[in-house]
Amino acid sequence: MCRALLYLGQPVLLDNLLYQPDSALVRQSYMPKMLNLLNLAGFGLRAWDPASHAPRQPHFYGSPSLPVFDRNLKNLAEKVRAGCVLAHVRGVAYSTGVDISLQNVHPFQFEGLPWALAHNGDLARIEEMKPLLRREVRPEFLPRIRGTTDSEWIYALFVSQLEDPCGAAGEQDVFAAIEKTLGVIRRAREQLGIAVSSSVNLFIANGSQLAALRYCFDFGRYRTEDPSRVHEANLSFLSLWYTLGRDYGLHEEEWKMTGGAERADSILVASEPLTRDTSSWVELPEYGALFAELKNGRPRASVRLLD
């Protein structure tokens, strides 16, 4: 299983998200505290810096190598501050058929579109589903799918459900696009008779807004004739947490988000809490979706449950 994080708020040094905290995203790739699966198939990020040239265009970094040994990423993280970040470490089950390549590194973002998306989970029998899913993808987006992952197809579906993929979208528009995307996948699963659980935790951002989804199709509906073949990720609902506050960083030798939600100027979302102190973190409920954007310098967040 993969892992990801989202950040929106006051500019933060990338190093303080990726490397320094007790459970920083790069640390999670080889020393996770929740869902003990390694993430060794690559790293990618989008980071929007309001002080940079063309601030609506994010910094992009991607590599199929292990981030813990990536000196280029470490050097970049020590220099760049960003007000919005979407970062992802990719994990795949061992298989000679899995493609470890830059084309399959998250987040996915088609050229010219503001939205980027990363995925934690897997869609069972995705190759059988693709002919059904392509009917719901806008024709202009189909040639832009370059990799082999289920995640890139989820991204193509999501942007296809937006009324204007190139423009602004409000809270209701984003929630509606997520629900429509899930509906397309659900109908394809029903048509193919797929009754195996498939996790779809999503992390979405465009530089000024973010959305996250904690979801699983048919959780618990896996065959148990051979328990050894049941993937560990389908034995528990993949985790997803968030915290609101201000002045995220090292305080009295402990990493934390301070100030509480009432005085928040930032929001942080992650597959598991980045800090040892988890008291300020809230677990997004199962089948929950979160949306956040900055209003007058403060994050306004809302959560709803999806069917």
For the cut 50, the answer to whether the pLDDT of residue 39 exceeds it is yes
pTM (2 d.p.) = 0.93
Instruction: Say whether pLDDT at 82 is over 60.
Output: yes
Per the structure, the complete domain to which residue 272 belongs is given by 3-305
Whole-number average pLDDT of the chain: 90
Give the pLDDT confidence score for residue 226 in this predicted structure.
63
Number of structural domains the chain divides into:
1
Q: What CATH number is attached to the domain comprising 161?
A: 3.60.20.10
- pLDDT tens digits along 112-166: 999 999 999 989 899 999 999 999 999 999 999 999 999 999 999 999 999 999 9
Name 58's Cβ contacts closer than 8 Å, sequence gap at least 6: 46, 47, 48, 49, 82, 84, 109, 116, 207
The CA R_g of the chain, rounded to the nearest whole Å, is 18
Please say if the pLDDT value at position 97 is more than 50: yes
Strands of the chain, DSSP E: 3-13, 43-48, 59-63, 81-89, 116-121, 198-205, 209-214, 216-217, 241-251, 254-258, 266-270, 282-283, 288-295, 298-305
Structure confidence at residue 96 (pLDDT): 47
Say whether pLDDT at 225 is over 90.
no
Judged against a pLDDT cut of 50, whether residue 68 lies above it is answered with yes
Q: How confident is the model at residue 236 (pLDDT cuts 50, 70, 90)?
A: confident
Q: Over range 255-281, report the average pLDDT.
A: 91
